[in-house]
Every structure is written in structure tokens, then in C-alpha cells.
Amino acid sequence: MKTISLVYNLDTRPKFMADMTTTADCDGGCRCIDFFIHGLLNKIKFLAPYELEVIVYVDVHEPVPENVLEAFEKFKREGKLHKLVMKDHSPEAFGKQYGKNNNDLIYAESLSYATGDYVTHFDSDIAAYKRPEFSVANEYMNWLEMYDYVSIPSPYTPNCIDFQHEIWRHMRYMWASTRFFICKRKTLPDFDEMVRCFDNRYLANKYGAWAMPNCLEHILGVISGTENVFYPPMELDKYLIVSWSQYYKGTLERLNVWPYEKVKEYILTGCDGIHGCNDVVGQPIIGE
């Protein structure tokens, strides 16, 4: 069986211990201590039954709680975690060296640790669920025979957004959303090449980019070329992948043990559905 490198990015930015967070008050994505343990277990379960190489990268702003470190050690002993990287947050060092956003270097470095046949990347605020009998990985691997990257399900498939919209009508490439994507490892540029491509002049000269990508997910799309990133249709009868735009502590622990239909009902009814491409406004779970 092919091996999948599961690359999972976490951080301890302020408010990660809060009972509720939103993208608005967190400046760039919900965060929660839940994402460390229950979020990781969620991704492992989602990719089952494939053999996984699990890589966790933590961007450390505030100290990682002791119980999380203990859980990671337990996961290592159980074979659920193979590589743990914890780096003190240092945007100044990244910025001075590369003139680039800190997150892009984190993504590039975390991906460079992958050694599996396939590589899948998850941001911490993504949650993914499937029916036990359904293999998401098999379906995505079939698509990877036609595309370089397969990303989050979208109502605008094969694109992530509506490319007919006036704002996007000149777009000539699609990006491999770092919220979630999967690719063959041989498709990924190596770390040094990703870093070189942060220089837009180098990217344009080598890959013919006409636009000025501002983050790694755009750069991966440019390198792959026009329409080589695929956003699958939503198949909510089989699986769902969502990004929390509002999250309440304790939610993931409960959803992880619920049957798929109950999770889907909570997302579609309890949270008023999926907004935009794959955003969900999480709501408190009462009476469970």
C-alpha cells in the first residue's frame, strides 16, 4: 500500500486556549487547544486505512501545554506521530532573509519533511469527516492521475472560487489551498526551490507567471501550470472537509466519535451549512 505523508500545521498564537474563537478576532484563522490532540486524531481517522507518515509542525508563540506534549509522546509510542517539529516563532528572521510571510516558510519547511509516496497538508482549523466505508484517499489518488494537486471540495468545482466573477476573470492559474491539498511527493518542489520562488522575478522567469503570487499556495499553482489544481465537487453523502470560521472548545472531541450522518447534520443544520468555499460557523453543542 502507498504511504501518505500527513503534514499538519499548528500554532500557539494568542487565544489558542480560549473557549471560543473566530477568524475575525484571531487575525487569520480560528485556533484552539483542541486542534492539537483531537484535530490530529481527526485527520488520522479521515485518511484511514492508509499507512501514514504523520508530521506535526508547531509554530510556537506561547508555550505548548504540558498535557499536549505528553499526548504527543504517547502518539509517538503508539505509532500515530512520526515527526514532531516545534519552532519558536520568528517572523523577523524569516522576513529579513526571504522578504516573505512567516506562514509561507512554515508551510515550505513542514512539507520538506515528507517522505511518503503522497503528501497531504492540513491547516489546524480544518476538520474532515467521512463514512467509515468510504476511502477519500483512493478517490483523490485517482484524480492525481489527471491533476498535480487535489484540494478542498468546492461548490465552484473544478475551481476553488467562481472564475466567471469579474474580480477573477483574468486568473490563469489555480492555487493548491494550504487549508487542505494532496499531491504526489514527486510533484512538490523541494524546499530550496520553493524559497527561490518567493522571488516573483525568479518565478516569472522560470515558470512564466504573469501575476504576482503572494503566498506558497499560489506559487505551487503557478509551477504546476494552468488548471492543474482540482477542487472536487462536494459529495456530502460520502465526506466533508470544512474550515472553522467560528469554533467552540470541545466540539472536535464530540464530533470525532459521532457517526458521519450526525456530524453532517450538525454542520448543515446546527451550523447553518457551509459558506463560501468551505467555511463553517461553529455553534455550541448542547445536551450531549
Cα separation of 185 and 114, whole Å? 8
Task: Sort 148 into a burial class: Cβ within 10 Å, 0-12 / 13-18 / 19+.
Answer: buried
Structural domain includes residue 79 = yes
Mean pLDDT of 99-106: 74
Structural domain includes residue 61 = yes
Helix, strand, coil % over all residues of the chain, rounded to 5: 35, 20, 40
Per residue in 220-234, pLDDT (tens digit) is 998 998 889 999 999
Provide the pLDDT for residue 229.
92
Mean pLDDT of 153-176: 70
Could you tell me how far CA 79 lies from the centroid of its own chain?
Answer: 22
Structural domain includes residue 218 = yes
Enumerate residues 6+ apart whose C-beta is below 8 A from 209: 173, 200, 203, 222
Structural domain includes residue 183 = yes
Calculate the alpha carbon distances from 234 to 96, 179, 190 in Å: 41, 16, 31
Per residue in 28-53, pLDDT (tens digit) is 679 999 999 999 999 999 999 999 99
The domain in which residue 148 lies consists of: 3-230
CATH label of the domain that carries residue 101: 3.90.550
Instruction: Pull the grid cell for residue 241.
Output: 472537509
Element (H, E) at 27: none
Provide the pLDDT for residue 261.
97
Structural domain includes residue 59 = yes
pLDDT tops 90 at residue 182: yes
DSSP-based three-state secondary structure for 256: coil
CA-closest candidate to residue 145, choices 183, 174, 114, 173: 183
DSSP-based three-state secondary structure for 252: helix
Enumerate residues 6+ apart whose C-beta is below 8 A from 251: 34, 282, 285
Structural domain includes residue 284 = no
The total domain count for the chain is 1
Provide the pLDDT for residue 102.
74
pLDDT tops 90 at residue 135: yes
pLDDT tops 80 at residue 219: yes
Mean pLDDT of 135-164: 88
What percent of the chain has a predicted confidence (pLDDT) above 70? 89
Structure confidence at residue 208 as a pLDDT band (50, 70, 90): confident
Could you tell me how far CA 169 lies from the centroid of its own chain?
Answer: 26
The Cβ-side half-sphere exposure at 216, using a 13 Å CA radius, reads 27
